């Protein structure tokens, strides 16, 4: 079950699309979507997704967040979204260490 908020824009066939494809190869599409929903909405990333994320490294969250953070409709809150991304990373590292 996903959050009621899902970014309502498509990933275009450009550099962001390439970054998206590279991330989705490393983690499941569901986890990628969960990460985006948590960064940009009120979603929650599951423990298994946190484990996937930590296993693949921070190089996954940065492109996922950057794909959307610099969209014209979101750029005004880019700092907030990037902070949420960093908080998610710290949360996932903590969760993964405790398991």
Angle 52-11-22 from CA coordinates, rounded to 5°: 40
Give the whole-angstrom CA distance, residue 66 versus residue 61. Answer: 8
pLDDT in tens, 31-71: 988 888 888 888 889 999 999 999 988 877 777 777 777 77
Q: What is the pTM of this model?
A: 0.71
List the domain boundaries for the chain: 21-98
64 contacts 29 by C-beta, under 8 angstroms: no
Give the whole-angstrom CA distance, residue 8 versus residue 42. Answer: 14
The SS3 call for residue 38 is: helix
Among 35, 26, 43, residue whose Cα is nearest residue 68 = 35
């Amino acid at each position: 079950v996903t959050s009621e908020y899902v970014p309502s824009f498509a990933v275009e066939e450009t550099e962001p699309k390439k970054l998206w494809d590279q991330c989705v190869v490393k983690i499941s599409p569901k986890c990628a979507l969960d990460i985006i929903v948590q960064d940009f909405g009120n979603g929650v990333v599951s423990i298994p997704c946190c484990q996937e994320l930590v296993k693949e490294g921070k190089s996954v969250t940065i492109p996922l967040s950057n794909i959307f953070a610099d969209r014209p409709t979101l750029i005004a809150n880019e700092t907030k979204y990037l902070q949420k991304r960093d908080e998610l990373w710290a949360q996932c590292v903590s969760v993964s260490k405790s398991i």
